[in-house]
Amino acid sequence: MSSGNFFSRVEMNNLYRYGYALCSNQDDAYDLLQYALEKYLHKSDRYNDACDLAYVRTTMRNRFIDEYRKSARFPEEEYDDGLLVVIDETALEDVVVAQIDLEIMWKELNTMEREVLYYWAIEGMTAQEIAEQIDVARGTVLSRLYRIRKKFDTKAEINELSGGRGA
């Protein structure tokens, strides 16, 4: 070790190559090395020359394993921002109209119906789970869902008969 530096250039290159051997990516190898060196510099008050390289290598290996496990559990999805997105204006208009219709229909539902619809459509609960959640009979939940569907069907029929946007 030279004065002021903890590792020589040769040792740093060896550590980098070890990181590259682990992850086969330059940037990831630099990240592993940086993480291990930061941890090494922050470790307790004493440095042991005999164990320094082994400590940094072990830290790099452990970090690599942690990152590998994390990526296996939560894989990243890559998005290509360079792709052109074709926006169909009629589809956008239909979405806005549908949103307005849903807002109107949402306001037409009473509080109990909105609660059941929320649990069923948003939370994905079964009728039995909803019944237990709001402390009513399962049949009551099924009845409310039926009435909600009827309201939506009636509104949809009115929209079709009036040629688009409803009353």
Residue 79: inside a domain, yes or no?
Answer: no
- Region 86-111: mean pLDDT is 78
Given a cut of 70, whether residue 2 has pLDDT beyond it is: no
pLDDT (average), residues 44-67: 80
Domain that holds residue 98: 89-161
- Residue 110: pLDDT over 80: yes
d(CA 127, CA 79): 38
Mean pLDDT of 84-96: 71
Residue 119: CB partners within 8 Å, gap ≥ 6? Answer: 125, 129, 130, 133, 134
CATH no. for residue 111?
A: 1.10.10.10
pLDDT of residue 131: 94
Residue-level pLDDT at 108: 84
Number of domains the chain contains = 2
Residue 109 has a pLDDT of 84
Q: Which residue has the higher pLDDT, 79 or 61?
A: 61
Distance, CA of 97 to CA of 76 (rounded, Å)? 34
